[in-house]
Chains A and B, each alone.
Chain A
Amino acid sequence: MTDTAQRNSTARKWPEGGVTRVPAWIYSDPDIFAREMEVFHYGKTWNFVGLDCEVAEPGSFKRSWVGERAVIVTRDLDGEIHVVENRCAHRGALLCWKNRGQAREITCPYHHWSYNLKGDLMGLPFLRGAQGKGGMPRDFDKSKNGLTRLRVARRGGTIWASYSDEVPPLEEYLGPEILMRLDRLVSRRPLRLLGYSRQIVKSNWKLYWENSRDPYHATLMHPFLSTFGILRTDGDYHSVPLKEGRHEYTYSQYDPELKNRSTEASKQIKSIRSDLEIKDKEVVTSVVDEFRDGMMGAFQVFPTVLVQQYFNCLVVRHVIPKGPGAHELSWTYFGYEGDDETINRLRLKQSNLVGPAGFVSLEDSEVLALMQPVVESCPESVQVLEMGGHGTEAQDTMMTETLIRAFYDFYRREMGL
């Protein structure tokens, strides 16, 4: 067998054990990665690209990503939102180098081809040559040389893009459970941008995707959670896979008394230390129950985002693949127009829980970055996913890997593995 044939993903065979086993080669094989991009990110999916408050004014833009492809989200002079590839239609140069800004047009730095915010080619230098020489052929049609446009969908303050003409409408793609949870966070009031953090994680994007489907690790690897009583194994917790494993949500009911209770489960977790105290208790104890449901949770919309509410910190984690061995995590923090100073301060303070150096999230990117060389060095090794049984059903516990199994059930079907 040649090297190419060996690497050919169709030659890959999923190990015995179905969704309770995951082969390590899915995290490093370049052919698998290329196929994931085609099937998922450039296929029949809706990709999160940004919030409408990031392009609030007509004539504004922001850069984003769909899979590995750079895109630009624009709001044209009529207020309509567009998503176009950040790639000049001429020679493929990167058009827009600024993360956000105001503009009436986008001009390529290479040959100064100029586009409006809808992506139409407005003009190009020396169309008719110079001194009667050169120039474009007479039949060159500017209207056929605009930027590549993606389909756009909006829900509340969120913006989504797709390369597919066949993907169902966004509402149908999300399904009623995700829609309800998304609307709860982004559709009731106009959004207000609070800020960003961004990081490169040197691991395959799926390791991160699984990580946020893995409540089992949360109280173990993140001592902050158990130490300060935010999440406990004895709390009310739900792990719910959706849409054949594509999406999922987890949530818990916030219990301010939990920290003071000691139960069998809490005694089992070594990391709970009673001698540690947090100096600024507002980070974990001051909560405005702004949705009046006492709920705290997160949900994933395949293949790009985890939307999360930690007390009053609201954040979108955008997972942007960068080849098989890396991904970018782009965290966008938001609140609402009309937020008062008190809740604004709480949102900012509680944003310390997440992000690249978050009290809680810090460990995730670190453990995954150290895991990547391990999975790369042993591509034929197999991982075990039996916590919570062998199934893919919803469970009301944190002690389960049902969400990861449900994801691989979906993944194998779509990838033909």
Chain B
Amino acid sequence: MTDWVRVADESDIPEGEPFAAEANGEAIALYRYEGQIYAIGDICSHEHVRLSDGWLDGDRIECPLHQSCFEIRTGRVIEGGPAYLDVPCYDVKIEDGAVHVRRKG
């Protein structure tokens, strides 16, 4: 995915709760954290489950299945759970009140 994709309206994204979306057929989740919007892959790198169904604790999302934790700003896995691979991270831009994302790298 190299192009920007519109995934949500900015007003859709609450603080303190994940917002599940899709970008080019990939499950992603949007997070509003300290005023900033972030987007990371929403499928746990351990088992196939949506992270956004899990537990949001500050800047980390905890998988509902086995408590693997990921940083919502980077997609980086946090040691302690069974997952050992990061989930993808997306660039985010807001244009005319719409959220657009693009896969990093």
Q: Are B82 and A116 in contact (CB under 8 A)?
A: yes
A114-B66, A130-B64 given; A123·B82 CB < 8 A:
yes
* B65 located at the interface, meaning its Cβ lies under 8 Å from any Cβ of chain A in the complex: yes
Flag if B66 contacts A124 (CB, 8 Å).
yes
The answer to whether the Cβ of A370 comes within 8 Å of any Cβ in the partner chain is no
Interface size class of A (residues with CB under 8 A): 10 to 19
Per the 8 Å Cβ criterion, residues 223-282 of A in contact with B are none
A180–chain B nearest beta-carbon distance, Å: 44
Return B68 CB to nearest CB of chain A, in Å. 6
Name the residue in A105, A116, A122, A123 with the highest tally of chain B Cβ atoms < 10 Å from its Cβ: A123
Q: Is there a chain B Cβ closer than 8 Å to A198's Cβ?
A: no
Any B CB within 8 A of the CB of A196: no
Smallest distance from the beta carbon of B86 to chain A beta carbons, Å? 16
A130 partner residues in chain B, CB cutoff 8 A: 53, 64
Are A122 and B66 CB-contacts (below 8 A) given A104-B84, A114-B82?
yes
Docked pose: A51 CA to B5 CA in angstroms: 55
- Please state if A123 and B66 are interface contacts (CB–CB under 8 Å): yes
**Which residues of chain B are within 8 angstroms of A123 by Cβ–Cβ distance?**
63, 65-68, 81-82
**Chain A, residue nearest B65 (CB):** A125
What 0/1 readout, one digit per residue, does chain A (102-113) give for beta carbons within 8 Å of chain B? Answer: 001100000010
- Chain B residue numbers with a CB within 8 Å of A127 are 67
Closest to B55 in A: A128
CA distance A173 to B47 in the complex (A): 44
Q: Mark B41-66, 1 if CB is under 8 A from A, else 0.
A: 00000110000011100000011111
Q: CB-nearest residue of chain A relative to B80? A: A122
Q: Are A105's CB and B82's CB within 8 A?
A: yes
Which residues from A are CB-within-8-Å of B82? 104-105, 114, 116, 122-123
Residues of B contacting A142 with CB < 8 Å?
Answer: 67
Q: In the bound complex, how far is the Cα of B54 from the Cα of A122, in angstroms?
A: 16
Known contacts A122-B66, A123-B81, then 6 further A-B pairs from the complex at CB < 8 Å, ordered by chain A residue: A112-B65, A114-B82, A122-B81, A122-B82, A123-B67, A128-B55
